[in-house]
Structure 1
């Protein structure tokens, strides 16, 4: 059962104590609805575990999962740091008045404009991804007469148990410097010669939607194998070890994620062993959860429209959204659970596949899910859509982007307005 599957006395699905049928009527559909109390609970699971273990740490929210001014304000309130990967994400952080010293910038192809923006606003750290970036940043820092803390992103060669499209820690990756072929050490040596860059440590990210700790433990061991060599050859020990994110969540009952503190406990335990083994000081640990903080905190509400029955084959229902607000099923074959929100206490009596309304045969949100009998006008709720739904949404077929509502203390607040058709075409220029 999904964490957000609560039903009121009218038989309606609620989120954060608020009736979803009321939300759909007030804000229309498609609609993303976030339970802010759940966001805070997830964030605190990481922060409090590090505190309980007595470990200096930064929990950096990976804003690519869902970035908005309101979301980053919540992250700031929870004393999180922030992971950004673009000018747009950094700009949003600045609009949210996020503390710049707690912002870390990623990206495999950072532009001059992005690096200049990061330097100008004196952000906390830049994660170096390639040799070209070292040269760019060196020049920019000289121009601004500034300095910058950096981490070196490395690929430890660990193949996490995840989908190939979101596997980033193995040797053949567009991200980072490989440890095995010596590129990471070469980058380290080059950075050591640049006074304006302070190498605080290493960063790695082994994948996404990971349900076990073995991959993280193996990555820590490989990082320390390299760091032991750097200590011997260069008298270097890291101040920071950033182990990325990728902590899995439950999308369907098939998923079996760990408790969030389980990932932290495993990381800390292994690092404790490694610092003793290699006679090093215990570094500050940084992690970058995104999906694990927001993924299971939201639902998407849709209105059911047409139905199609193919005897002996499949029953379809169509909704007023689709791949424009959730590309993951088409991109990753991602699976979700769903329920008719206005018939939440009605037992499932049919098996239906849920089609989006885009003019694309691949626009399918769910395949063969058990549902109560759906009729036009019913309200469909899809669970665990808080990560990579809105953030990857598009205007395909010129559909406006959905609205986003936050719920806290049983109060609903609009935090992203629904796009209008005028806004969809506002950048178009006439050819006449």
Structure 2
């Protein structure tokens, strides 16, 4: 049985960045930039006013001035500001040729075309003007390769002259198995339960920047599972859910072998989620998750998310921290444990129930308390390693 560290290392060693694809800049949020992005434009493209007021020459201070026209956003003054002259100007408008300073409208009085200063005036030459290229210039690197694009990055890329971006977006196919499962929104019979894992993991993986295809629920039948695997052949990562153990109805391993998959390992020394399948199906990586909801979620966080980051060409997330235990924990056994807990500024506490089927507990947890194999009992006040879920799920 592999250790957690060895299992992650083997998964990452077998994974590589996927080929870039182009998407519209407005659709790229949450995806990973494939290459450095250099500005195609200069921003601002011209000296622009930062305030509403009047464009003047600093040499003409303290006035008075004669107003010769107006410069508005998208419609600059055609002429030149000469000695003793001023142009009405608005925020974002081009500063007319000849002018080098803006005096704000609250510090002047206008009577017809005559302008006089009534306040202290601009503090220096160049006041209230955004110089050309103050934000960036054509050729400047705007965003580094491997950046997960935020809404702010989208705005920057658009301002830099881009309508489409080259990104890495791993394709994931989900295959859930189980005769007892019915789709969400379906009323289960007496011997059935709702299959919540597919929609939960699809949401998790999409939030990580993957393109997810959820093929739905397959019965515990090797031929049916094989059809699902055939439909998943173009994915970068195939994730099966359930059927990963050794019971009579755990048929995923056999179906994978029948489909020609090469299995790398099975079983990892962790709790929850010991039955974990890893391998390859053609060019796709395969990750077989256990069927218990909490086990499936935690294994996806621990193993699927690092693989997706590697496929996207993004660095590992730094979501580990330490926190003070608010309640004691007993000694741990031989497998690395991931206790669902609540992290606050005061410290962290584990929920009383750690059952791997308890979605209610998982939904209230914002942290996993890491208990290394063989860890001794930890009293209240001890510092323990913690995986902050909000950090790992929201890490760009």
Q: TM-score, with normalisation over the residues of structure 2?
A: 0.29
Bigger RCO (CA 8 Å, 6+ sep):
1
More strand by share: 2
In our comparison, the structure showing a higher alpha carbon Rg is 2
More helix by share: 1
Q: TM-score, with normalisation over the residues of structure 1?
A: 0.28
